[in-house]
Structure formats: structure tokens, C-alpha cells
A = this chain, B = another copy of it.
Amino acid sequence: MMNIAVMGYGTVGSGVVEVLERNRGVISQRADGDIYVKYVLDLRDFPGDAIQERIVHDFEIVVNDPEIGIVVETMGGIEPAYTFVKRSLLAGKNVVTSNKALVAKHGAELLAIAAEKHINFLFEASVGGGIPILRPLQTSLTADVVEEIGGILNGTTNYMLTKMFYEGADYDEVLKEAQAKGYAERNPEADVEGYDTCRKIAILCSLVLGKQVDFEDIFTEGITKISKEDMMYAKEAGMTIKLLASAKRNGDKMCAMVSPVLMKKTHPLYSVNDVFNAIFVRGNMLGDAMFYGSGAGKLPTASAVVADVIEAAKHPSDSMMGMWTAEKALLQPVDGVSRQFFVRMRGDADEKKAALEAAFGEICVLRASGLTGEFGIITGKMTEGTYKKQAETFPEIIQMIRVED
């Protein structure tokens, strides 16, 4: 039997206890023995909950109990999660976490401790919720050089953009609806500003490069400025708008960014709707692959956490994950990346066409029915740096959204 402690009895933590309970039979079989939640660490009490008798308020009880072989961290945030996780690893306990902020910031250090101690630090649930992606990257896509990785990594914003696409609703409306449904927090910043997505792509990049990718270095733009008018133009062009995380290799560097993009119907991520997530990987031998599923939610996320617990229980004295070092990875600045741009501007397209073509190459003019006094264009392919320089000469520009190939 493996005794574990769950730190944090919120949505994911209580999901972990529920999954372990409901699928007890198959889990015991696959983990080569029962998994027993000996402690749940939380500041709160949960009177009436079956877990109450196992609630502890003091981390020292967890870390000092030699019977605890695996610690599950589902508290979120950097502190005290970081201190508790580090001390657990140093005490020789396997750690499983769903905490993307912690992994993005301290992953290299915590993986190094786990490797030195020959134990596991596992974090499948930190990217893509229930979608298996980190272990497949580490154990199945090993024959490939990953040329590109990314996708739709945030369910809240994908839900909002899907609503805007299908219902023609505006940003503020769909945000309220997402909050009412519990998909968005009262303070939605982490989701809508792209911060959550940014941490997830930082983790994916760090694993792919084997070096630390600091999330602060990743160009990140959220969806707060996306309007129903933008979506009208996108539809007009047979496209949609998605919040895309993308990292493309260029030699030993990667160019990583998070931003809303216009996406064509033929793109494999086009039909990833609502709160679903999808992670796209291009290998130099494999070609394109995509992993799709529930990127968030209590039980899907808990399912990924428990799968990590089972791996740790089966291999308690082995580091099953590859690692990345603390050495800083080189990122390519986004200004050097070539692509097309969708641009909305005030005025009359026919009048400006010659000037626009001189600045942006072969352009395609878009009009959205009902919108007067403005028009849209899709530029030719050009670097972001060149685009910015040219765009300065057009003060009538009111919006720019990148176009994904």
C-alpha cells in the first residue's frame, strides 16, 4: 500500500480524492497496490465531509511522516506551494502537482532535486488539464526533434471566443457569462490576459529544449481587445479567432508567443471549441500530431494527477520524467518572425489601396457587412518588425491580429 498526502482540498484536490475513491479497484491493480490518502492538508475544516478525519493543518505532520511516499500538491500559486514541494522532495518523497505557476517558475530546480534523490517530480496536469501530453512528449515522441509545439491551452478564453464566433456576442457579454458559469474567475486576468497560457507554453518549451524558458520572456497578448467586429471580419474571411500558444524551432532557438490569431478552417485547431484544449506537435519524423481533450475541470484534471500518482507508486525510486536544466534557453524575438497580419482601419479601402500595397505587399481587402467607415486587410507575408514599422505610418489603424498559417 502507498500512503499519500493531498495538499489543498480545493477543486482539483477534492477531485483527486474522488477519482481515487471511485476508481479504487482499477487503480490498485495498475499501481500494484492500494493508494491511501492518509492526510489532506488544508487551512480549512470540512465538517460532514468523509475526509474531515484526515484533515491536517500543519505541513510538518506530512513531511515528517515516513509512511508518506507521495505528496500531491493542488494548492496552486507559488507560496507556500514551492516551500512545501521542495521540502517534500528533499525529504525523499515523490511529488505530483497540477500547479503550472510553480512548475514554470521552479521546474528546473525541483526536477534536479528529484533526479538527485532518484524520486519523481511529476506535473502532467499542469498543461492541458486531463490531456496526456507531457508523458507522451517524454516517452513517445522521443525519436523526433520537435520543430513546433503549441495549441489552445486555456479553456476559459476558448469558451469565450467560441461564444463570440457562434453567437456574435461581444467580449464583455461573454466574460460575464463565463463568470456566471464558473469558467472564469471573478478576477479573470490570468486567463484573459494570456498569463495562464504563457506559463503552459513555457513548460512545454522547457521540456522540448531541455533548458529553462522563463515565462517572462515569452511575448504574451490576451483577448481583452478582441471585439465582435473583429470576429465579423474573421468570419467574412472564412476564419475564426483563437488564443494560440505557439513555439517554433529555428536551429537551437525557439520563438515562443501567446496571442490571438486568425485561423483558417483547414487548421487542425479550428474546430477545437468551448472549454476543450488541444496541443499540436510537429516532429521532424512524425509530422503533425494533435492531442485533444478537457483542458480543465475537476475530474479531468484530477484524472491526470492520479495517473501521475500511479506512475510514482509503480516507480517510487526512479525519475520517470526527463528534465530541463536551469540554463536559460535562447528565445528568438518575435520581431523576426514572418507571417500575415489582419489589420482594421478607418477610411475607404479604394482610396488607400495603393499606399497600403506599397507598405504591406499584396493585400486582400475585407469588408464586414453593417460596418461602415472602416475596412480590413490581410497583409502579405512580412516580419513582425517590418509590419510594425510600416504600421506607424497609418494612424487610421484600429486593430491588428496576427494570421496563423
Contacts and interface: CB of A to CB of B under 8 A. Distances in A.
Nearest to A15: B285
Among the interface residues A144, A294, A311, which one has the most CB atoms of the partner chain B within 10 A? A144
A143 interface: yes
Contacts of A228: none
A11 to B, nearest CB: 14
A285 B19 contact: yes
Interface residues of A, number: 48
Given A285-B302, A285-B303, A292-B268, A310 B143 contact: yes
Contact of A143 (B19, B144, B286, B297): B19
Given A142-B27, A145-B23, A285 B299 contact: yes
B142 A289 contact: no
Given A27-B143, A142-B30, A287 B307 contact: no
Interface in A111-164: 124, 130-132, 135-136, 139-145
- Mostly, the A contact residues are mixed
A84 to B, nearest CB: 23
Interface in A267-309: 268, 270-271, 283-294, 297, 299-300, 302-307, 309
B140 A286 contact: no
Contact of A299 (B131, B286, B300, B322): B286
A388 interface: no
B139 A311 contact: yes
A91 interface: no
A58 to B, nearest CB: 28
Given A287-B130, A289-B132, A292-B292, A303 B26 contact: no
Given A27-B142, A290-B291, 17 more contacts: A27-B143, A130-B287, A130-B289, A132-B140, A141-B303, A141-B307, A142-B310, A142-B311, A143-B306, A143-B310, A268-B292, A285-B300, A286-B303, A287-B294, A287-B297, A290-B290, A291-B291
A22 interface: yes
A162 to B, nearest CB: 13
A135 B140 contact: yes
Contacts of A145: 23, 26
B271 A287 contact: no
A254 B291 CA distance: 25
Nearest to A305: B143
A287 B300 contact: yes
Contacts of A136: 132, 135-136, 140
B290 A289 contact: no
Contact of A288 (B19, B143, B289, B293): B293
A286 B300 contact: yes
Contacts of A294: 286-289
Contacts of A19: 143, 285
A312 to B, nearest CB: 11
Interface string A16-32: 00010011001100110
Nearest to A297: B287
